[in-house]
Structure 1
Amino acid sequence: MSDDRLRSRRPSVDAPTGDVAAAPEAAPLPGEHRGGFQREFTQPTPLQFVPAAERPAEPVVPEPRVEWAPAPEILPRSGAWALALGIVALALSLFVGWAFPLGIAAVVMAVLALRHPWESRTVAVWALGLAALSILYSAGWLVWAAAQAGLLG
């Protein structure tokens, strides 16, 4: 390529006008102090002196504000009790027919446990199943006893 073609391809830079500020001789480095601070960051803060005659005899300490959090609400737990009562009712109903009130109580407690969202559903279902089984066994014993006594026709 000839020199004329190279010159025509090079961009031309105009001379700066009067409204453009000239660049400083050396650009500041990152983090270099540029002025504007009155004191160093680690310098102590100046304190005002209060004469002893104007100071209070004892420092005024504000009374602490104590607020107690409300006591957490104790939620009724019936699932574990229903399961324990259902197990006892089932064990007794294997031998006697008069354990059906325990089974009915266990069924009621298990149904209450199923209605509470904080209760374990698995425990409540097991309690309900064992309590229902204990009622069936007790009913079987009572029917057998009634048949033996001649109360059933």
Structure 2
Amino acid sequence: MELLTPGIGLIAWQLLIFLTLFFVLRKFAWKGILSALKSREDEIESALKMAEETRAEMAKLKSDNEKLLAEARSERDAILKEAKEDANRIVEESKNKATEEANRILASARESINQERASMVDGLKKEVASLSIEIAEKVMKKELATKGAHSELVSELISEAKLN
């Protein structure tokens, strides 16, 4: 059991060596080790802050991008709606103009037909009047002795008359 329990001398020497090593390390190495640990801790903390700031900035950029996309979509929809309304308005105006033009052409054609008809009726009246006067002149020139000669003359004049 002697191997398991150390002796007092061994404990004293080990304590003396430990304390000497502790004071030497404290005097020369402790400040360097603590400053290295402190700088490492500061670097880690600054990296964590930068990561958090970057995360916040990315979230802000993402929300800004979504906002811009929403605005672009609404603007696109407004432009499409306006274009559709303009197209419908132009089509409606074109239809109205075409209808007005067709009505104007029809009215002009009707008036032209009515003028032609009136002119033809006037021409026909003049022709009939001229023929009537011609027949009356021929009847008056000829002396009619009998009623049969008179009927014969009227028949002859009617067959000679040219009706255009």
TM-score class, shorter-chain normalisation, is under 0.3
Structure possessing the higher relative contact order (Cα contacts under 8 Å, 6 or more residues apart):
1
Larger fraction in helix: 2
Rg larger for: 2
Q: Calculate the TM-score normalised by the size of structure 2.
A: 0.24
Q: Calculate the TM-score normalised by the size of structure 1.
A: 0.26
